[in-house]
Structure 1
Amino acid sequence: MVRRREGGGVGGSADGYGAEAEARAPGNRTVVLGVLASTAVVLLAQAGTGTSARLVLLLVFLPALLAGLGTLAQTIAVSVWVAVVVAVSTVLFPPTSLEARAGTLVAVLGAEAALVALCARRMGRERQLFRMRQSAVALQRQLLRPLPVLTPDVQVFGLYRPVEEDAMVGGDLYDVADTPYGTRVLVGDVQGKGLPAIGAGFAVLSAFREAAFREAALTAVADSLEAAVQRHNAYAAQAGESERFVTATVLGLERGPEVQAVNCGHLAPYLLRRGRVETVDLAAGVPLGLAELAGEVRTVQWFALPEDGVLVLLTDGITEAQDRDGEFYPVEEGLTALGTTAASLLPQALDGAARHWSGGRRRDDVTVLSLRRTTP
């Protein structure tokens, strides 16, 4: 039987929309210093050019900028400040007529009211997207198995982190099944993001959870996943939705050093042993959903996983992490630096290294699994 322990394998953010919005918006100190500096420059230019210039009206661009980037409170506060500055400037540098003076104040107040309304509308839409994203993340977490998973053949540790900075979650998936044919492990990534990607991932997971116990041959398991993606795409086409493909690797492990693998266009695993890292040489194959178009027949490949080795499976959330210069994260170098890290801590350590490389910017889900043989 598969034994599961609840832990930190599936991570996520519990912060609400307000905290997320404040983290994205410019800091209050930055806003205050920027507004004061801009006001000083404009007023000095106004004083130097004489009473006929209306340069103070340029300050209206400050709440306009915050309406698109800042919080509602920041937009309101800066709008009030700009209104006061314009009113004082109108007294110190009056227009030629009282009507012009009143028209200036009315125009500024009307523009700022419109900007505050636009900011409120923007934040309302962002709040709605946040709730949709949180619902999608919660659904995806329910579909994925908690980690770690321990079987008689292998210990599987891991981390799944959805990309919560984007409008929608991605389509990473994984599973572990303790079957009469040994332990079967699946890791994959659905093309695209959002609920449609989760739907395709659910189709693959459902097929794996049946075929892993039913099929003796690992190629038959992969064929079942292929058929599941094809059926999902047929329903999607009928509904007018985009068809999708899924990259995946299916592993079969039993007692002994050998591992069976069927690779369907997914990233090759890495093997860590005695401080050294090497890429497991697996032919890529074609992704699930495209085998019929390519005319490909799935085949089993073999490689060794010694008792003192750790096998690392991951998705492109790690490999496509980029620094400020656009350089991708060097996974092999990163794993070499983590060569002495315990298998149970390796997924979190690798994710932390990739996030440090990218400065915390993430564009896709992150899934990392580390496998080692179960010792008697």
Structure 2
Amino acid sequence: MPRIRRKRPAHVLEAIEPPGNPDMIVGVVSVTILVELLGVLSGSAVWLLGLLVFLPGTASALCTVRQTRFVSGWTTLVVTLTVLLRGGDSGQWLDRALLVLLTLALGMTSVYACHRRIKREHEMLRLRSTAAAMQRHILHPLPVVTEDILVNGVYEPVQEDRLVGGDIYDVVASPWGTRVLIGDVQGKGLAAVGAAFAVIGAFREAAHREPTLTALVDILDAAVVRHNSYAEQTGDDERFVTALVICVDGGAEAQVVNCGHIQPRLVHDGVVTTPPLDSGIPLGLGELAAEPATVDWFAFPAGSTLLLSTDGLTETRAADGTFYPVDERLTSHLGLSPTELPQALYEDARAFTDNDDQHDDVAVLTVRRSPHR
């Protein structure tokens, strides 16, 4: 999966793990004994049996079909035996018979509901498995290691039941060095995902073919323009994409073209700096640029680390509207390895908001130059 960690305890579409048969039996028998004791103490055992009809419904939400059948049969049997053994006024037999019939009907309904639930869970798991397989072909799993660099990071779409969002990244080991892309599609929704696919596909193909970053960026820009032309025909909104395209080879410097994206941070010898880079026009808006894209160079010595991110990190806000202080928090996490750093910053940013609401896709990457370079 394209991130170090996938923390989804509450919202992942996964099948519910049913309880073991011994635990289920102990629980059902315990509830039955409790209801019978309450009935004896209160003198209204038959009507307290109405509490047992909730057992099959609970089982249908937590247990397997076979377990739900057992709970439904057990509940029906206990209610029936209690009605027969307790006896009572003849005028109450109709009410007692209705209680048995209601218990039987709810038990059958619970078994059917359990069957539908499990069928739906299995369908969603199959869909998620298919989506995960597709994602592995769209976004490379991290970490990625080449002769030049180690790339690691965190990727979290804002809609966490979706595996791919509007933030993108890719790493290609080309004949001219390792090329790294990180980008952010304007807007959200399926149209943003479509533009993301267009950029990733173009980058993955052209990074092996184009010897210069400027030519590569021109192709990415053309891919977004083509995507927008198709979007216009179908009535979708046009998009632009901010992006950083970086090339690291065997030299002591790195090349970069900034297409309106957030500046990278360079960590070297315990010092955080921001390389002075020109900020160009986002992809898809190249025709508006007065001048063509240019390549910047900055020092990237051996053992140093680049931090790349999207605005899902930098525009994280606290409850009082304060933006997440990336440089300050990055400095406080310099003791972490490049592998641990993206996860730590992501979790720190989530804690900074004082809530679990994520309002934008988040991508945080570290690019570590190989020590032998």
For the residue of structure 1 that corresponds to 2:15, the secondary structure is: helix
2: CA distance, partners of 1:279 / 1:28: 59
Partner of 2:163: 169
1: CA distance, partners of 2:217 / 2:372: 28
Question: How big is the alpha-carbon RMSD for the aligned residues of Structure 1 and Structure 2?
Answer: 5.0
The superposition leaves residues 310-338 of structure 1 with CA deviations (integer Å, 9 ceiling, x where unpaired) of: 1133467888999xxxx999876775565
* TM-score calculated relative to the size of structure 1: 0.67
2: CA distance, partners of 1:319 / 1:32: 52
1: CA distance, partners of 2:68 / 2:130: 29
**Contact 2:38 2:45 (8 Å CA) reproduced:** no
Letter in 2 for 1:158: N
Matches within 5 A, 1:96-107: 96-107=91-102
Of structures 1 and 2, the larger Rg is shown by 2
Matches within 5 A, 1:165-204: 166-171=160-165, 173-179=168-174, 182-188=177-183, 199-204=194-199
* TM-score calculated relative to the size of structure 2: 0.67
How many Å apart are 1:228 and its aligned residue?
A: 1.7
Structure 2 unaligned residues grouped into runs of 5+:
7-12
User: CA 1:373 to 1:362, structure 2 compared with 1: closer, same or farther past 3 Å?
Assistant: farther
For the residue of structure 2 that corresponds to 1:347, the secondary structure is: coil
Q: Mean alpha-carbon deviation: is it higher for 256-265 or for 29-38?
A: 29-38
Partner of 1:372: 369
2:339 to 324, 344, 347: 347
1:256 aligns with 2:249: no
**Contact 1:188 1:247 (8 Å CA) reproduced:** yes
How many Å apart are 1:110 and its aligned residue?
A: 1.4
Matches within 5 A, 1:24-63: 42-43=35-36, 46-47=39-40, 49-51=42-44, 54-63=47-56
The superposition leaves residues 124-149 of structure 1 with CA deviations (integer Å, 9 ceiling, x where unpaired) of: 12211211221121122124456534
**Contact 2:329 2:345 (8 Å CA) reproduced:** yes
Partner of 1:5: none
The superposition leaves residues 128-183 of structure 1 with CA deviations (integer Å, 9 ceiling, x where unpaired) of: 121122112112212445653424xx3133257788x9543123543334556654
Partner of 2:146: 150
**Contact 2:199 2:223 (8 Å CA) reproduced:** yes
Letter in 1 for 2:144: P
1: CA distance, partners of 2:274 / 2:181: 18
Aligned residues: 349
User: CA 1:71 to 1:114, structure 2 compared with 1: closer, same or farther past 3 Å?
Assistant: same
2:15 to 21, 40, 53: 21
The superposition leaves residues 160-210 of structure 1 with CA deviations (integer Å, 9 ceiling, x where unpaired) of: 7788x954312354333455665431123556578x776543321221134
How many Å apart are 1:118 and its aligned residue?
A: 1.6
- How much identity, in percent, do the aligned residues show? 36
User: CA 1:259 to 1:93, structure 2 compared with 1: closer, same or farther past 3 Å?
Assistant: farther
The superposition leaves residues 188-239 of structure 1 with CA deviations (integer Å, 9 ceiling, x where unpaired) of: 3556578x77654332122113443565664553343233234234435555
Partner of 2:9: none
How many Å apart are 1:263 and its aligned residue?
A: 4.1
1: CA distance, partners of 2:315 / 2:41: 53
**Contact 2:307 2:364 (8 Å CA) reproduced:** no
User: CA 1:286 to 1:81, structure 2 compared with 1: closer, same or farther past 3 Å?
Assistant: farther
Letter in 2 for 1:351: Q
How many Å apart are 1:245 and its aligned residue?
A: 5.7
User: CA 1:63 to 1:52, structure 2 compared with 1: closer, same or farther past 3 Å?
Assistant: closer
Matches within 5 A, 1:221-300: 221-236=216-231, 238=233, 246-254=241-249, 255-265=251-261, 268-277=263-272, 288=283, 291=285
How many Å apart are 1:351 and its aligned residue?
A: 3.1
For the residue of structure 2 that corresponds to 1:86, the secondary structure is: helix
Letter in 2 for 1:221: L
The superposition leaves residues 252-301 of structure 1 with CA deviations (integer Å, 9 ceiling, x where unpaired) of: 34523354231444x55332222344566778777655x489x5678556
1:130 aligns with 2:122: no
